[in-house]
Amino acid sequence: MKLKGAEKHFWWLFAGIKDSKQIPNEIPGFTSIDSMVDDEYIAILFDRVNIAHSIYLKQTEISDEAVKSISKVKKLTSLTLMKHPKITRKSLPYLNQLTDLEYLDIWRTGVILEDLHELNQLKNLKELYVSATRQAEDGSFPEMEKDLILEKVIELEVIFPGCAIYVDFDRY
């Protein structure tokens, strides 16, 4: 089947693919750093690719909509979404569907330490990176007292037993 429109353009640029029969069902991983990759790009990619083992996205143009698309990916064990301020608490139900995850990096997103109790389906997590606080209007990240961070991490150990939790890159 011939591809058309935006999908045709996408697959040609992504992998030189001209026919939908050439689109792989599975890829080992996908990486994009400091790029213009956006929600539409991720939607087109994961509408056809059902299996990916790792996704690494840092400072792209994605939002909660991309997380919704990613939530349909099977066998995903490693997901990095660092430095995406447009990813918010609204993405938590979608992240919770990724039950194969062993590694999750949501540092410097709108999802912070106090939100993590909602990720109660991620029983395989071994490593988790998160920010203690949300970004302030001036672009800074307010600090949280270490004792308060520790208190929240102790609560999370019930949900994520055996998981190394890193809050602003400090291990707890």
Q: The domain spanning residue 57 has which CATH number?
A: 3.80.10.10
Question: How many domains, the chain?
Answer: 1
Predicted confidence (pLDDT) per residue in 96-145, tens digit: 999 999 999 999 999 999 999 999 999 999 999 999 999 899 989 999 99
- pTM greater than 0.85 (yes/no): yes
Tens of pLDDT, residues 60-95: 999 999 999 999 999 999 999 999 999 999 999 999
State the burial class of residue 21 (Cβ atoms within 10 Å of its Cβ: 0-12, 13-18, 19+): exposed
pLDDT tens figures, 27-47: 999 999 999 999 999 999 999
Residue 2 has a pLDDT of 80
Any domain includes 19: no
Residue 10 covered by a domain: no
Residue 18 lies in a domain: no
- Whether 9 maps to a domain, the answer reads no
The helix, strand and coil proportions of the chain, stated in percent and rounded to the nearest 5, come to 35, 25, 45
